[in-house]
Chains A and B, each alone.
Chain A
Amino acid sequence: MILNIRPVLSAIKRNPTGALLVGLQVSITLAVLVNAAWIVHQRVVKIEQPTGINTRDTFTIAVSGSAKQFNAGAAETEDLAYLRSLPGVAAATVADGVPLTGNGGDTTVWLQPGHRGRFVPSAEISMDIEGIKTLDVPLIAGRNFRPDEIVPYVPGKIAPSASEAIVTQALAHALFPHGNALGKTIYGAVPKTIIGIARNFMGPQLGSPVYNTIIYPRLPGQGNYYMLLVRTQPGRRDAILRAAKKHIAASHRYGVIVYTQTFATANSLMDSSNRNVAILLTLVTALMLGVCCLGIFGLTTFNVGSRTRQIGTHRALGARRRDVVTHFLLENAIILAGGALLGAILALVIGEWLTTHYALPRLNLAYLLVGIVALAVVGELAAWQPARRAARIPPSVATRTV
């Protein structure tokens, strides 16, 4: 089979507007398709980042109470003793923030006293000795807090700042890229010694970088509000949450439960906006691709319809059905190629713009190549049916008058 390109080109030349319009659609669709896929990929990467903690068996109970009468220090001690006595509870801690929720503090960690020199942003959370056990985060190096390092509650006081800290691997590396962070002193409001390094996990504040988290020993008594984090044995979470909720609600005269939430819910909430943007982008891009295919289908159908006699003549002069199909697919391929060329330039321009304005990583060229191939295949498939219909036109139509 010889691909005779000249009659195809002259056919396009006879109706350049239609071809131009379809080419334009193809180019916009390609540019959007490629960049949307790239954005979706980034979002999925974010969703798939491990949290580093046990989100399946863990839940939060937040407790507060009447401003003056509620003794938060006594209440949290009582609640912890109760929770730890429950069969099925693996670990429980009191905390001033909840990982994955945005509910908690962030800070700046300095390498020199007096807020000088280099600093690293980090999320912060204070928990007691069962904190890292509750989150199911193993210590890579160093040790956990000792009970005497947990600062006792003093009514009316915010609590003195602790002088020990456990940091995640990511934070340790950011602070001391060349050396062992263990035992080093870091500076914030007061100097602190790094006594332990925990495996990476996501803290309460999900800024970037997400794994920079620092843990202090529990600093109780900040206001009249505390959060209990509880990890149960597998499968026991819901039953224990129900029992604990009932018990705690009834046990404090001036206290109330503000809310309860499982870590699974918190995790899904955290991912939801990334997931939803990915869904919306995919949906609109798919619709766009669909409309583009309809355009290709429409143009080919129109061309077949308006060239019936020419096709008949062509057949009468010896063209096989295959040649007719090839003619239309080739014509479509030329339009697609033109659209793809323009679309590739457009995709790169949009990609560059997204990189500067949305801090998106630069477009991976593999996405562009895959996009072109995918659009070419789908575009040819869209022209397939009308091209087949053209092939069925009998040579005899050439001899008939209209």
Chain B
Amino acid sequence: MLGYYTRLAFKSFRRTPGLTALMVGAIAFGIAACIVTLTVHHAMGRNPIWWKNNVLYAVTMDSWDPHQPYDPPHPNRAPGQLTYRDATYLYGSDIPKRKALLSFVTGTLSGAPGQAAPVWTMTRITNAGFFHMFDVPFEYGGPWSAAADQGPEPVIVLSRRENEKLFDGRNSVGHTILWNHLRFRIVGVLNHWDPQPRFDDLTGGGGGNFGRPARAFVPFKWGPALHLFPNGSMSCWAAVNTYRELLGSNCVWILMWVELPTRAQRQRFLDFMNAYWAQQRTMGRFQRPRNNHLWKVSQWLRLHHIVSNSSRLLLRLAFAFLAVCLINTVGILLAKFLRGAPIAGVRRALGATRRQIFAQHLVEVAMLALVGSAFGLLLGLGGLAGVRALYAHSYSAYGKVAHFDLIGIAWALALAALSTLVAGLYPAWRIGRVAPARYLKSQ
């Protein structure tokens, strides 16, 4: 039966090629718009480490000015980063399974074989826990040891990109390289690691929410040891004059992440923070209301408004467009089916049931949806390329995430094809209900 209906549908398409093209075109454009916006939206809202969402936490404490909130439009929000004093104290806790402090310093890399001039590199100062906690993949070697964090030992991890630049992508583990003209031993080279959005650092200091990850990593203590001023994001509410003053100051410039696998650990760490807060408060710090918080990755992403307003707006626009396209298709289908009513009348008179007429027309709708979706997919991929080109030179993340994303596209396609089918139900039902007698008499 299906084969027969398919043939009938083909005949029907051939009878009205213009209308058919119109419907396919409308469906395809509607679907393409949805594919582009849904893909981008989905990519922006993605949690790049969803499998650890319930164990990783960003740590915040409100150490800010008693007279003024850190973020005046959101007075209940603590700064996203910690002071050196608080970060190093909290890092001393052995409650978390893993823990890491994160900041950026600038520096040069030189001394690789065949390298002419030093290259400038934003260097992430952090702890070994960073690599374990975020499941960072290594191409060669691995993270440095916990002992290297304590020393600090002169060990460095290069990104894959930096290793390609300096060592042509060869295994450079064990080589010595000059980091800021100090000899550092390469212990690891990362594999491709480019989480989007950059959930680990949303301070804007590392190139924005969708920026590239750091190119080189050294133990956190090298920053304070060499008096390297942080080069990422830093906020102060009182003047500081020297590096030593910075370390004792209320400037916030360190991100802290902890891995707390159980609820009990989470509660213990929160209690630990609260006890520290209370103790420091008696010494005159933390004069704002208590606001110690552990943020899950998903909460952290929401807090930082990763999905842009423009993205939301364009997504809604695309759905409105799809709606117009579908209403349009319903209108045309209805007109087309009703014009074919005499044929349906004859078929009914010859014994076809209402259900069969309905099924026959639904097959026609389904084929339209199928062809429309196929063209829509092609158009959508073209649209994504267009958006990438449009946003190639832009601060906005919209272009960076406009990539082929199987889940995003599958969602959009399924949604659009299904809605087309649903839209086609009404015309197919209407034609199934025509009374045969009316079309059998001559006019």
Identify the interface centre among B65, B107, B119: most chain A CB within 10 Å of its CB.
Answer: B107
**Is there an interface contact between B317 and A66, defined as CB atoms closer than 8 Å?**
no
- Known: A294-B22, A306-B339. Is A272-B393 also a contact (CB below 8 A)? yes
**Is there an interface contact between A276 and B390, defined as CB atoms closer than 8 Å?**
yes
Q: Quick one: which of B30, B226, B314, B398 contacts A281, CB cutoff 8 A?
A: B314
Cβ of B332: which chain A residues have Cβ within 8 Å of it? Answer: 295, 298
Q: Which of B411-443 touch A at CB < 8 Å?
A: 430, 442-443
**Is there an interface contact between A68 and B181, defined as CB atoms closer than 8 Å?**
yes
Q: Quick one: which of A272, A276, A305, A401 contacts B443, CB cutoff 8 A?
A: A401
Cβ of A309: which chain B residues have Cβ within 8 Å of it? Answer: 443
Q: Does A384 sit within 8 A of B, measured CB to CB?
A: no
* B19-37 to A contact mask, C-beta < 8 Å, 1/0: 1001000100110010000
Cβ of B236: which chain A residues have Cβ within 8 Å of it? Answer: 189
Considering the complex, give the chain B residue whose CB is closest to the CB of A24.
B327
**Is there an interface contact between B242 and A156, defined as CB atoms closer than 8 Å?**
yes
Cβ of A85: which chain B residues have Cβ within 8 Å of it? Answer: none
Q: Quick one: which of A69, A159, A287 contacts B181, CB cutoff 8 A?
A: A69
CA distance A258 to B320 in the complex (A): 45
Name which of A53-61, A115-123, A387-395 contacts chain B.
A115-123
Q: Which of B293-348 touch A at CB < 8 Å?
A: 309-310, 313-314, 317-318, 320-321, 323-325, 327-328, 330-332, 334-336, 338-339
**Is there an interface contact between B394 and A269, defined as CB atoms closer than 8 Å?**
yes
Q: Does B237 sit within 8 A of A, measured CB to CB?
A: yes
Q: Which of B102-133 touch A at CB < 8 Å?
A: 105-108, 117-120
Identify the interface centre among A22, A102, A288, A302: most chain B CB within 10 Å of its CB.
Answer: A288
CA distance A131 to B229 in the complex (A): 24
Q: Does B281 sit within 8 A of A, measured CB to CB?
A: no
- Known: A25-B324, A272-B396. Is A68-B313 also a contact (CB below 8 A)? no
* B385-396 to A contact mask, C-beta < 8 Å, 1/0: 001001101111
Cβ of A329: which chain B residues have Cβ within 8 Å of it? Answer: none
Name which of A44-52, A137-145, A219-227, A372-380 contacts chain B.
A219-227
Q: Quick one: which of B26, B107, B237, B246 contacts A67, CB cutoff 8 A?
A: B107
**Is there an interface contact between A268 and B26, defined as CB atoms closer than 8 Å?**
no
CA distance A274 to B367 in the complex (A): 40
**Is there an interface contact between A258 and B237, defined as CB atoms closer than 8 Å?**
no
* B372-396 to A contact mask, C-beta < 8 Å, 1/0: 0000000000000001001101111
Considering the complex, give the chain B residue whose CB is closest to the CB of A108.
B68
Cβ of A182: which chain B residues have Cβ within 8 Å of it? Answer: none
**Is there an interface contact between A298 and B242, defined as CB atoms closer than 8 Å?**
no
Cβ of A224: which chain B residues have Cβ within 8 Å of it? Answer: 106, 229
Considering the complex, give the chain A residue whose CB is closest to the CB of B395.
A269
What band does the interface of chain A fall in when counting residues whose beta carbon is under 8 Å from B? Answer: 35 or more
CA distance A367 to B77 in the complex (A): 39
CA distance A292 to B26 in the complex (A): 10
**Is there an interface contact between A158 and B228, defined as CB atoms closer than 8 Å?**
no
Q: Does A277 sit within 8 A of B, measured CB to CB?
A: yes
CA distance A257 to B339 in the complex (A): 73
Name which of A1-9, A28-36, A240-248, A313-321 contacts chain B.
A28-36
* B237-249 to A contact mask, C-beta < 8 Å, 1/0: 1111111011000
Q: Does A351 sit within 8 A of B, measured CB to CB?
A: no
**Is there an interface contact between B442 and A279, defined as CB atoms closer than 8 Å?**
no
Q: Quick one: which of B67, B241, B393 contacts A269, CB cutoff 8 A?
A: B393
Cβ of B105: which chain A residues have Cβ within 8 Å of it? Answer: 67
**Is there an interface contact between A294 and B106, defined as CB atoms closer than 8 Å?**
no
Q: Does A90 sit within 8 A of B, measured CB to CB?
A: no
Q: Which of A170-214 touch B at CB < 8 Å?
A: 189-190
Considering the complex, give the chain A residue whose CB is closest to the CB of B123.
A67
CA distance A32 to B318 in the complex (A): 10
How far apart are A229's CB and chain B's nearest CB, in angstroms? 19
**Is there an interface contact between B226 and A17, defined as CB atoms closer than 8 Å?**
no
CA distance A281 to B228 in the complex (A): 46
Q: Does A402 sit within 8 A of B, measured CB to CB?
A: yes
- Known: A64-B106, A68-B181, A256-B117. Is A115-B68 also a contact (CB below 8 A)? yes
Q: Does B227 sit within 8 A of A, measured CB to CB?
A: yes
Q: Which of B144-180 touch A at CB < 8 Å?
A: 180
How far apart are A269's CB and chain B's nearest CB, in angstroms? 6
Considering the complex, give the chain B residue whose CB is closest to the CB of A190.
B239
CA distance A119 to B321 in the complex (A): 45
Q: Does A86 sit within 8 A of B, measured CB to CB?
A: no
**Is there an interface contact between A160 and B395, defined as CB atoms closer than 8 Å?**
no
Q: Does A299 sit within 8 A of B, measured CB to CB?
A: yes
Q: Which of A102-119 touch B at CB < 8 Å?
A: 102, 108, 114-116, 119
**Is there an interface contact between A22 and B331, defined as CB atoms closer than 8 Å?**
yes
Q: Quick one: which of A67, A277, A287 contacts B310, CB cutoff 8 A?
A: A277
**Is there an interface contact between A256 and B108, defined as CB atoms closer than 8 Å?**
yes
**Is there an interface contact between A65 and B331, defined as CB atoms closer than 8 Å?**
no
Cβ of B67: which chain A residues have Cβ within 8 Å of it? Answer: 114-116
Q: Does B265 sit within 8 A of A, measured CB to CB?
A: no
CA distance A119 to B246 in the complex (A): 25
Q: Does B54 sit within 8 A of A, measured CB to CB?
A: no
Q: Does B231 sit within 8 A of A, measured CB to CB?
A: yes
Q: Quick one: which of A190, A273, A402 contacts B442, CB cutoff 8 A?
A: A402
- Known: A32-B317, A159-B241, A287-B33. Is A21-B339 also a contact (CB below 8 A)? no
Q: Quick one: which of A68, A249, A288, A306 contacts B226, CB cutoff 8 A?
A: A68
Cβ of B65: which chain A residues have Cβ within 8 Å of it? Answer: 115
Instruction: List 25 interface pairs A-B (beta carbons < 8 Å), by A numbering.
Output: A17-B430, A21-B331, A65-B108, A67-B105, A68-B182, A108-B68, A108-B72, A114-B67, A116-B67, A156-B243, A157-B242, A160-B239, A190-B239, A223-B106, A254-B108, A254-B118, A256-B119, A272-B395, A273-B391, A277-B314, A281-B314, A284-B318, A287-B29, A288-B324, A291-B30
Residues on A close to B: CB < 8 A?
Answer: 17-18, 21-22, 24-25, 28-29, 31-32, 36, 39, 64-70, 102, 108, 114-116, 119, 121, 156-161, 189-190, 222-225, 249, 254, 256-258, 268-270, 272-273, 276-277, 279-281, 284-285, 287-288, 291-292, 294-295, 298-299, 302, 305-306, 309, 358, 401-402
5 tightest CB-CB pairs across the interface, nearest first?
A223-B229, A189-B239, A273-B396, A302-B335, A272-B394
